[in-house]
Amino acid sequence: MVKPVYRPVYKAPVHRVYHYNKIPRTATYLVIAGITYTVVDNVYYKRSGDQYIYVEQPPVSVQSEVNTVSSTVVTNKGMAGKIVDILPNEATTVTVNGATFYVQGSDWYAPIAGTNQFVIVEPQL
C-alpha cells in the first residue's frame, strides 16, 4: 500500500498590503526586535511607513534578557522593543484601530498584557 504524500496547501492572503487605518479590528499587534508587525487571520504583515506589507515568512523571536527602566524617561530614538516600568507623566492616551497606546512627544508606548509594563513601539500614525 502506498500512502499519499502530505503537501501543505499554500494559500495566498486576501490582502498583500493594508493601510494603517484599514486594518481589521481583529488584528493583533506585536513588536519583535523593534519591528512592528500585525497579524490578521494568521498572516503576518510588517510595518513600512503608513502601510503593513505581507510577510511570507513569519518572524521568529528569540528570548533574550531585557533591562527594565524604573524611574527614568526613555526616548524612542533606537529604543523600539525596549520595556519600561513607568510611563512619562505627560503621556497621553491614543487609540489606533482599537489598540491603546500612550504617547509623549514622538515616543509611543504599548501596554504589555498581563503586566504593569510597557514596550516602546514605532509611531503608529
What would the pLDDT profile of 4-61 be if each residue is shown by its tens digit?
Answer: 666 655 667 778 899 888 888 888 887 776 678 888 887 888 888 888 888 876 665 4
Length of the chain: 125
Across the range 65-82, mean pLDDT stands at: 49
* pLDDT attached to residue 9: 59
Phi and psi at residue 97, to the nearest 5° = 50, 40
In the block, residue with C-alpha cell 523600539: 80
Confidence bin at 66 (pLDDT 50/70/90): very low
What pLDDT, in 10s, does the model give residues 80-119?
A: 778 888 898 899 998 887 788 899 888 888 888 778 888 8
- The per-residue pLDDT for 6 is 64
The overall pTM is greater than 0.85 = no
How high is the pLDDT of residue 3?
Answer: 63
Q: What is the pLDDT of residue 76?
A: 42
| Distance in angstroms (rounded) separating the CA atoms of residues 48 and 28 | 16
Domain boundaries, the chain: 17-121
- Residues linked to residue 47 through DSSP beta bridges, in sequence order: 52
Helices (H), 1-125: none
Task: With a cut of 70, say whether residue 78 has pLDDT above it.
Answer: no
